[in-house]
Structure 1
């Protein structure tokens, strides 16, 4: 028994926001470990996925979509280009711009990345039935939309922008 006003023994109660943060951090760490087996970072895997869905976009458009400063994106893309995973081609419509594309090697790595992602998804949702996984995904998608998060863009890209500006989106006074 506890006295009035005292908390019962055991861990403190946690709310949904804490659990989302706890699971999100855990999932991100595990995914980064899994990506390391492919010699990729989460940010690099995000760019490869983005290029697979929309090839030939300009560096500026990609940087904007990812929330990265353009100057940071150039160095970021340089590394992937040196590894032969992406290539820059002159944009046929505007020769001042480069269009970014996956290479064949990048496509092969993307297929491996998808396998790693599917296994990560399976392990993170282990213990849930298929209908429960679908329900959880739908609820999380709705929460993400409500918070104004860009579909398919990891919030880690925002921190790259925050490093440059010293600000974070969503913090009062930092818009």
Structure 2
């Protein structure tokens, strides 16, 4: 009797959920959560932007980022600076500690990616990445931004 065949979308969800759980565990060792890592990564790649601009890129209301930004600022990982163009806004940037931690996060992410795709050859990894990028583009997903930000809690 033939085993049930699962669709590609199911397999993507299954592997994605597993990969997300494992990544959460790995960055937990750095005392970080996935939303914190995502925001730190965005601030690192687009320094000097306002909280409102970052929220728009993440697809979430700016008010939902306040506790996340506050917590990262308290830990000394990001800094709020007055925006030179609009004094009502703050520009967000990584602190030196935040940059150092992001280096560790990057190492963790590379190790995680290698572990999850260990069964694949380099050519297969490249093909998988290209195919997943093609699907993400077709679905209108923002590159580098997890769609879970739209569901962030404001508390």
Q: TM-score, with normalisation over the residues of structure 2?
A: 0.96
CA distance in 2, matches of 1:138, 1:125: 14
1:56 maps to which residue? 48
Matched, 1:155 2:147: yes
1:114 maps to which residue? 106
Q: CA deviation at 1:143?
A: 0.2
Q: Cα RMSD over matched residues?
A: 1.2
The structure richer in helix per residue is 2
2:21 maps to which residue? 29
CA distance in 2, matches of 1:21, 1:152: 18
Deviation digits for residues 22-57 of structure 1 (CA, Å, limit 9, x no counterpart): 000000000000010000001100111111111000
CA distance in 2, matches of 1:58, 1:155: 20
Q: TM-score, with normalisation over the residues of structure 1?
A: 0.85
1:5 maps to which residue? none
CA distance in 2, matches of 1:155, 1:58: 20
CA distance in 2, matches of 1:89, 1:159: 27
1:168 maps to which residue? none
Rg: which structure is higher? 1
CA distance in 2, matches of 1:39, 1:142: 33
The number of aligned residues is: 154
Q: Which runs of 5+ in 1 are unaligned?
A: 1-7, 165-175
1:142 maps to which residue? 134
Matched, 1:93 2:85: yes
- 4+ residue runs of structure 1 moved beyond 3 angstroms? none
Question: Equivalent residue of 1:101, what SS?
Answer: strand
Q: Which runs of 5+ in 2 are unaligned?
A: none
Q: CA deviation at 1:159?
A: 2.0
Q: CA deviation at 1:158?
A: 2.0
Higher relative contact order (CA 8 A, sep 6+): 2
